[in-house]
Amino acid sequence: MRTIEKKAGNPLLSIYFTAGYPELGSTVRIAKKLEEAGADFLEIGFPYSDPVADGPVIQHSSQVALENGMTLKRLFEELRELRQHVHIPVFLMGYVNPVLQFGMDNFCAECKNVGVDGVIIPDLPMYEYEELYKETFEKNGIANIFIVTPQTSTERIKKIDSLSRSFIYLLSANATTGKTLDVGEDTHAYFKRIHDLQLKSPLIVGFGISDKATFQKASTYTAGAIIGTAFVKKLKEQDYMDQIPDFIKSIKD
């Protein structure tokens, strides 16, 4: 498993995009271009028909991807060549329903086969993971990424940290994706509270990060941040592949 480690003085940038959007066959090409442009790790979303935690941009990308014919089976076929081209950590993100339809054992085995390092399944309850799936994940060397929100108790956060094998996904707020990050006093206090727990797992912030300013603010108390909606918007452009280097440069430089 490739690890998420903060570089001295440089916050980590993760990019999210939806597999099968804007077209089938683009997943590995986009991932390769993102690595070349300087992304530190990637989250590849597998589409679902009812993405309740996502804002309109990512919901639309999911809908288009499904209409294009993207499925978990198709995604794993595309990812067969992933590790010939991409060397940074890669995580899959999506909802539990399609995973259970595919079969959790099959899903974890396929993740291992194609070189995926971990998965983010926000609607997989922690107790279900512990009781039913933890052994399968660990046997295949797949990290399960847990999510912390402003309402998560300190006790639960420490439990999450003990179960984590990679990073902890820190939601900037209780909202859908695509909202602008508002780092006011409450958010600063929330980030600082988690930071001060001195957890063993790196903290990565998601939701509301869209540009250099919000990326730097979000990374003040964390190892880095994830950009999703702002990048998925770029994939609407006809020359989206050519725009990737400038997009990453605008965040990191």
Q: d(Cα 212, Cα 145) in Å, to the nearest integer?
A: 25
* Residue 98: both structure tokens together: 């399609």
Q: d(Cα 183, Cα 61) in Å, to the nearest integer?
A: 27
Local structure of 210: helix, strand or coil:
coil
Q: d(Cα 100, Cα 102) in Å, to the nearest integer?
A: 5
| Residues whose CB falls within 8 Å of the CB of residue 54, separated by 6 or more in sequence, listed in order | 62, 176, 177, 178
Q: d(Cα 162, Cα 156) in Å, to the nearest integer?
A: 10
Which of 35, 40, 54, 110 is an active site residue? Answer: 54
- 98, 70 Cβ separation under 8 angstroms: no
| Residues whose CB falls within 8 Å of the CB of residue 4, separated by 6 or more in sequence, listed in order | 12, 40, 41, 89, 166, 167, 202, 204, 223
* Residue 140: both structure tokens together: 């295949």
Single-letter code of the amino acid located at 119: V
Q: d(Cα 53, Cα 207) in Å, to the nearest integer?
A: 10
Which of 35, 40, 43, 117 is an active site residue? Answer: 43
Catalytic site residue 186?
Answer: no
Q: What is the DSSP letter of 236?
A: T
Single-letter code of the amino acid located at 111: C
* Residue 197: both structure tokens together: 């727990």
Catalytic site residue 54?
Answer: yes
Q: Cite the active site residues.
A: 43, 54
